[in-house]
Amino acid sequence: MKYLTLFILSLSIFGSQAQITITSSDMPNIGDKLRFSISDTLLGIDAQPTGTNYTWDFSFLNWLSQDVDTFLGSTQWSLSYQFAFGPFGNPSSYALKGTAIDSLGSISIDEYLDFFRETSGKYQQTGFGMTLSGLPIPVVFDTNDVIYRFPMNFGNIDSSISSWKLTLPIYYGSLRKRYNEVDGWGSLTTPYGTFDVLRIKSDIFSTDTIGLDSVNGFTVVLPQQIEYKWLGKGQGIPLLTIIAQVIANDTFVTSITYRDSNRIPESAIPELAAESIQVYPNPAHDLVTIVLHPSVNIEQLQLFDIHGKRMKIEPLSSSIIRNGYMLNVSEFRPGIYLLQYTDESLRAYKKLIIY
């Protein structure tokens, strides 16, 4: 009986450390709404360490904001998208709805969608679409971006070349080379929990062309991008994604997101922000006035972009902000930002739009 107990115990220990295999069944489904958190990129994270039966501990990650990936079936697409990404176009399984919307000068982007095709052998992006001032514009890839190949196991190596072009009214084209390597497996811990995972590293090299057409224009070689993704069984989206750029042989983390549960009831966020601080004008272009409620004491203000990158930090006294503080945002590109204000017991956010 003693040996049987030891045998069962050993099976449970080694079984929990066994390498997993990722297949198409672990990808998203139509109708999925998968929440993730955006973390601070200034934590000094080194995403490179990996190996077999490796333990990644990212339990220290702190969330700055949260978002939800929503996957839409073809019945929820506009007619132009159904034509472009339906059976007679570049067939796609679903669209991923984006929630962070920027603008292009005087042209507003009302909606942004990424389109994907999922088969038993591949997970690939087929294109994207954006609604510009009420008009849906599909951009169909000439060659698809193969993000994953299945079944995915440790040691797998693959590559793909994708491209697309758009004339609106000038020509804009993009060529992307992706090199994937499943370079680790083991256990990942984040604030969301502990999971058995595969780690895939993607090196991405992109070149954009801008001009009157594909011939009469100039090319821009973008910085090398590295994507580190930790995939678990049945999760739909990566449990952790760290994106970095290589500039002058130095690597800089630009984005950290991880699968997560709802951290703060959505109904509580605007009430808390409205009661504690006023920010105007919002949207803003150059100067923002910030006024603190008399009952709240804070130690500093921080401004983050939608990817969690800290753009500005202001160590200010509460008395200064109560009288009205002018924050200059003219140096930042148009987009959605998060204004974070904290003291010893409070961390609250206010969304700020810069145009």
| Assigned fold of 268-354 | Immunoglobulin-like (2.60.40)
Higher pLDDT, 249 or 221: 221
Q: In Å, how far are 143, 282, 315, 323, 352 from 287, measured between CA atoms?
A: 44, 10, 18, 16, 12
The Cα 219–Cα 84 span in angstroms is 27
**Which pLDDT score, from 0 to 100, does residue 1 have?**
44
**Which pLDDT score, from 0 to 100, does residue 10 have?**
41
Which pLDDT band, with edges at 50, 70 and 90, does 268 fall under?
very low
Residue 143 backbone zone (phi > 0: left; psi -120 to 50: alpha; other: beta): beta
Which pLDDT band, with edges at 50, 70 and 90, does 8 fall under?
very low
Higher pLDDT, 292 or 102: 292
In this predicted model, what pLDDT tens digit does every residue of 173-211 receive, in sequence order?
Answer: 999 999 999 999 999 999 999 999 999 999 999 999 998
Which pLDDT band, with edges at 50, 70 and 90, does 279 fall under?
confident
**Which pLDDT score, from 0 to 100, does residue 72 have?**
95
Average pLDDT, stretch 233-245?
A: 96
In this predicted model, what pLDDT tens digit does every residue of 117-141 receive, in sequence order?
Answer: 999 999 999 999 988 777 899 999 9
Which pLDDT band, with edges at 50, 70 and 90, does 17 fall under?
low
The Cα 37–Cα 240 span in angstroms is 10
**Which pLDDT score, from 0 to 100, does residue 5 have?**
42
Instruction: Say if residue 170's pLDDT is above 50.
Output: yes
**Which pLDDT score, from 0 to 100, does residue 206 have?**
95
Instruction: Say if residue 88's pLDDT is above 50.
Output: yes
Average pLDDT, stretch 12-18?
A: 51
Domain residue limits, the chain: 20-259, 268-354
- Beta-bridge partner residues of 224: 246
Instruction: Say if residue 147's pLDDT is above 50.
Output: yes
Q: What letter would DSSP give residue 17? A: T
Q: CA torsion 233→239→240→241, rounded to 10°? A: 80
In this predicted model, what pLDDT tens digit does every residue of 290-342 receive, in sequence order?
Answer: 877 666 677 678 888 766 677 887 776 655 666 677 888 888 887 778 887 76
Instruction: Say if residue 273's pLDDT is above 70.
Output: no
> Highest-confidence range of 100-104, 128-132, 148-152, 311-315, by mean pLDDT?
148-152
**Which pLDDT score, from 0 to 100, does residue 344 have?**
55
Q: CA torsion 25→28→30→33, rounded to 10°? A: 140
**Which pLDDT score, from 0 to 100, does residue 178 have?**
98
